[in-house]
Chain A
């Protein structure tokens, strides 16, 4: 009996360890997990940014890819989101991890200029931060609170938008009616529970080097 109880205790410890942590749609991070550290990631601004220099109350990371039609379809709403919380202690940071030429830093700067990104857009060439986030799609959002715990991950809203070759944007389910990231930020600013805390992000797949 003691052996069974001990085995159960060990199993529970393992399940609570960081190695066992994964979310419903994320194989690496779960809600409540810590922000993975990153160091000196280059931004399109010419500066480098590390996780320990960020002091805003809420951090919103979004994985992006210039070539991805689901990113292009959402770009204007991402800019609007960043604008909306301009006067709050909320920081939006874009992240590109792919090694395609059109997803690298020079192309990132061109894309950001074109669509009006009003936030830092970092290039994670080593893909270490992207891996640590478990970011597998673009766009995919990761919201961390002041304690740098993950409070939301997934889609921007409930109707992802795709841009066609002719530049027209179409939402899958019509105009969005649930704004997951915005609601997560508002709830956290208001010291309320985030619900939902995880949704299925829809978009292109990040290509990780194996």
Chain B
């Protein structure tokens, strides 16, 4: 009887355990999938806070290099009623990249909200009107996009000082 249990039931239990484990891993994803329309609503839900969004992806080396600065900036301004968020632009159909992105966020210990754009990658760039990343989008207290810091112009590349100055400018607007 015991041998029969071992042969028949135990493998089933093991398979079940593996499935639950995978489910938990998926649930543990730090990045909430969100399509463009939901993202617009999400931004509106943060009114009247200033919102700072870091657009990034694992394939973007510059994004990875500057991300720690975003984490530091969040630490500096988290008590100023500013919402920080990251928006991942890896291919939604590329589980390897999404898994690596999750691992990266965990390693960064970034204590703010993380999303991934649940759109076809090229559609995501079109809808957000982005040409390239990294990009930092900053919204004022009325929800208006006031700063779009990008590398789109070779002669006007943004720096972390630009991001911080934009935040300070909006904080000074009463």
Q: Do A170 and B94 contact each other (CB < 8 Å), given the known contacts A202-B122, A205-B133, A205-B134? A: yes
Q: Mark A114-135, 1 if CB is under 8 A from B, else 0.
A: 0000000000000100110011
Q: Do A130 and B131 contact each other (CB < 8 Å), given the known contacts A160-B122, A172-B122, A202-B125? A: no
Dominant SS among interface residues on chain A: loop
B165 interfacial contact with A, CB 8 Å: no
Q: Within the assembled complex, what's the spacing in Å between the Cα atoms of A66 and B104?
A: 23
Q: Mark A156-181, 1 if CB is under 8 A from B, else 0.
A: 00001010110000101100000000
Q: Mark A60-103, 1 if CB is under 8 A from B, else 0.
A: 00000001111000000000000000000000000000001000
Q: Cβ of B120: which chain A residues have Cβ within 8 Å of it?
A: 172-173
Instruction: Give A37-74 interface residues, CB cut-off 8 Å to B.
Output: 67-70
User: Are A208 and B154 interface neighbours, CB within 8 A?
Assistant: yes
Q: Do A162 and B59 contact each other (CB < 8 Å), given the known contacts A200-B126, A202-B122? A: yes
User: Are A136 and B61 interface neighbours, CB within 8 A?
Assistant: no
User: Are B154 and A205 interface neighbours, CB within 8 A?
Assistant: no
Within the complex, the shortest CB–CB distance from B24 to chain A, in Å, comes to 25
B103 interfacial contact with A, CB 8 Å: no
Q: Within the assembled complex, what's the spacing in Å between the Cα atoms of A99 and B100?
A: 26
A27 interfacial contact with B, CB 8 Å: yes
Q: Within the assembled complex, what's the spacing in Å between the Cα atoms of A203 and B57?
A: 11
User: Are A210 and B157 interface neighbours, CB within 8 A?
Assistant: yes
User: Are A27 and B151 interface neighbours, CB within 8 A?
Assistant: no
For B133, B134, B153, which residue has the most chain A Cβ atoms within 10 angstroms?
B153
User: Are A208 and B59 interface neighbours, CB within 8 A?
Assistant: no
A194 interfacial contact with B, CB 8 Å: no
Count, chain B residues at interface, CB 8 A: 25
For A22, give the chain B residue with the smallest CB separation.
B153
Q: Within the assembled complex, what's the spacing in Å between the Cα atoms of A201 and B122?
A: 10
User: Are A131 and B60 interface neighbours, CB within 8 A?
Assistant: no
User: Are A131 and B154 interface neighbours, CB within 8 A?
Assistant: yes
Q: Mark B111-133, 1 if CB is under 8 A from A, else 0.
A: 00000000011100110000111
B38 interfacial contact with A, CB 8 Å: no
User: Are B126 and A27 interface neighbours, CB within 8 A?
Assistant: no
Q: Cβ of B159: which chain A residues have Cβ within 8 Å of it?
A: 210
Q: Cβ of B121: which chain A residues have Cβ within 8 Å of it?
A: 172, 202
Partner of A136, one of B96, B126, B151: B151
B155 interfacial contact with A, CB 8 Å: yes
User: Are A136 and B59 interface neighbours, CB within 8 A?
Assistant: no
Q: Cβ of B97: which chain A residues have Cβ within 8 Å of it?
A: 164
User: Are A208 and B131 interface neighbours, CB within 8 A?
Assistant: no
A-B contact pairs, 29 of them (CB 8 A): A27-B152, A27-B154, A27-B156, A28-B153, A28-B154, A67-B61, A69-B59, A70-B59, A100-B61, A127-B154, A134-B154, A136-B152, A137-B131, A164-B94, A164-B97, A165-B96, A170-B91, A170-B94, A172-B91, A200-B122, A202-B125, A203-B132, A204-B132, A205-B62, A205-B133, A205-B134, A206-B154, A207-B157, A210-B157
A-contacting residues of B (Cβ < 8 Å)? 59-62, 91, 94, 96-97, 120-122, 125-126, 131-134, 151-157, 159
B-contacting residues of A (Cβ < 8 Å)? 25, 27-28, 67-70, 100, 127, 130-131, 134-137, 160, 162, 164-165, 170, 172-173, 200-208, 210
8 further A-B contacts with Cβ under 8 Å, apart from A68-B61, A130-B154, A202-B125, are A136-B132, A136-B153, A137-B132, A160-B122, A162-B94, A164-B97, A172-B121, A207-B62
